[in-house]
Chains A and B, each alone.
Chain A
Amino acid sequence: MNLREALRIPSADVTEESVYRDRRRVLAMLGAVPALGIAGCSEAAPPASTATITPEQAKAGFSTAEELTRELDATTYNNFYEFGTNKDDPSNAAKTLRTSPWTVAVGGHCAKPGKLSLEDLIKGLSPQERIYRMRCVEGWSMVIPWLGVPLGDALKRFEPTSKAKYVAFTSLADPRQMPGVRSPVLDWPYREGLRIDEAMNPLTLLATGMYGKTLPQQNGAPLRLVVPWKYGFKGIKSIIAITFVERMPKTSWNMSQASEYGFFSNVNPAVDHPRWSQASERRIAGSASKLFAERIPTLPFNGYAAQVASMYAGMDLKKWF
């Protein structure tokens, strides 16, 4: 069966959700195996229960019953300017990215800085599946099943000091592997940042996979950030450095156009981007044709207000957009 035929299957013919979820869980475990292999098989078996989401977790925002974006759409419609500025550039050009071996330098205000292999960075942390909505600042959104570890769990091991008020992230910017870096579309390398409480929030995920598989290059392999209540560009891809800092770090889009992209960039229907209304969004999800799909209203904090709004209590979100 070719891809086109596969897309034509009516949703009723598709594997039942419980079975699908189980299959995904198995795949998730398979995904964890190579990493453990490289790490020296220090653990007998990958934890089994973490990939399925319990009702409690779902209530905590770690999952949603909304229709998933098709894997084909989520892996061919990407903003990853290191590989070009068209949506299909990354999936066409990113195969050249070598994701193994991969090292991440963790430093700044912490007791245990270090340069670690990706495997060591996430070793011993339980991989989880999180189904999150992702809202792009351009006015479209997806629903994606991510695999990864909570960022906070990974960061705590480095024992950040009281001076660590923010966390800064840096992407790889290698013109030999990333053709887009050869043009000065942004000030490379791509930089992002979070306030320490945002980084420690249980929703914030350090993702290594999606759809039960290892992360594809175009989606930010081998390691990316997923911050579901913020616009998609906060989810920095192909991370090579994490630094604990005292002052609000520079971020790429803010450096490029400060009037349009703030540091926080929380999804907020009440604060418009100068070029796009943020009141509504086009949802790229489900198996039905998206040609005549209606827009849907955008929710404050992308629908995660219950989990995150308290972090911004007392802040003027029109000023701190």
Chain B
Amino acid sequence: MRSLILPKTLVHLAALTPLAILLWQMWGEAKGFSNALGADPVAEIEHRLGLWALRFLMITLAITPLRQLTGWNVLVRFRRILGLYAFAYASLHFAAYLGLDLRGFWAQIFQDIIKRPYITVGFIAWLLLVPLAVTSTTGWIKRLGRNWARLHKLVYVIAVLAVLHFWWLVKSDLREPALYAGILAVLLGWRAWKALKARATAKVKARSVPAARA
């Protein structure tokens, strides 16, 4: 247990770095000494927070395949932190949209959420993340038992919605969202392949075991 304090601290520091950089640049923009956020800082803030939410989602989903490939079971101990950072960045992304982008035009929120498919799916993805974040505590894990794992399978749906959110917002150059779609396809494809293989072995066992006993 104690041995993980250092790596966990490092993970926290690494995960907070993009936020720290962004806050520093926002401070610079507000005080007028930096132009690092460009001509449209609100769009840049929204975009960057959203991108980090997506990245943390992908990193969280990469834990299981990495563990299976390397045999490093300790990796699973970092999954909760990473997932919570995905939720934190997604929440800040949503907060920036509400608090910076739509400032003074609150009525537009409902119209946006209902009428724009990319905002609809983004909002649903964030909504689905909420119960996962709430039930991430040890107490909830115990209380929910087997249902906890079932509930947290929602992360697959969330990841697909998040990529779709990015895909639909791009005007015509799909290369960047396609990159994330590709990563997600690999991460989910790995699980699908594993599941198929496990089912096949189970079938073989089911057939062969009684025969061996006989």
Contacts and interface: CB of A to CB of B under 8 A. Distances in A.
B108 A185 contact: no
A282 B32 contact: no
A4 B31 CA distance: 11
A284 B39 contact: yes
Given A81-B173, A257-B172, A275-B168, A290 B41 contact: yes
A8 B32 contact: yes
A140 interface: yes
B32 A7 contact: yes
Nearest to A140: B40
Contact of A274 (B26, B38, B42, B117): B117
Contacts of A4: 33-35
Interface stretch (B58-66, B79-87, B95-103, B192-200): B95-103
A291 B30 contact: yes
A92 interface: no
Main secondary structure of the interface of A (DSSP, over half): loop
A256 B173 CA distance: 11
Interface in A155-192: 183, 185-186
Contacts of A72: 35, 39
A88 interface: yes
A77 B108 contact: no
B29 A289 contact: yes
B26 A291 contact: yes
Contacts of B104: 294-295
Contacts of A66: none
A141 to B, nearest CB: 10
B26 A185 contact: no
Given A276-B116, A277-B116, A282 B39 contact: no
Interface string B103-137: 11100100110011110000000000000000000
Interface residues of B, number: 33
Nearest to B103: A294
A77 B118 contact: no
Contacts of B116: 274-277
A295 B105 contact: yes
Contacts, number: 93
A295 B33 contact: no
Interface in B13-67: 26, 29-30, 32-35, 37-43
B154 interface: no
Given A279-B108, A291-B29, A77 B40 contact: yes
Contacts of A256: 172
Given A85-B173, A291-B26, A280 B108 contact: yes
B169 interface: yes
Interface in A1-57: 3-4, 7-8
Contact of A77 (B39, B42, B172, B175): B39
A69 B42 CA distance: 16
A272 interface: yes
A292 B43 CA distance: 12
Contacts of B37: 291
A76 B32 CA distance: 17
Interface in A282-321: 282, 284, 289-295
Contacts of B40: 77, 87, 140, 282, 284, 290
B213 to A, nearest CB: 63
B6 to A, nearest CB: 36
Given A7-B32, A85-B172, A279-B105, 13 more contacts: A4-B34, A77-B40, A85-B171, A138-B171, A183-B175, A185-B172, A275-B116, A275-B118, A282-B101, A284-B40, A289-B41, A290-B42, A295-B104
10 contacts: A256-B172, A275-B117, A276-B116, A277-B115, A279-B111, A289-B29, A290-B40, A290-B41, A291-B100, A292-B100
Interface of B: 26, 29-30, 32-35, 37-43, 100-105, 108, 111-112, 115-118, 168-169, 171-173, 175
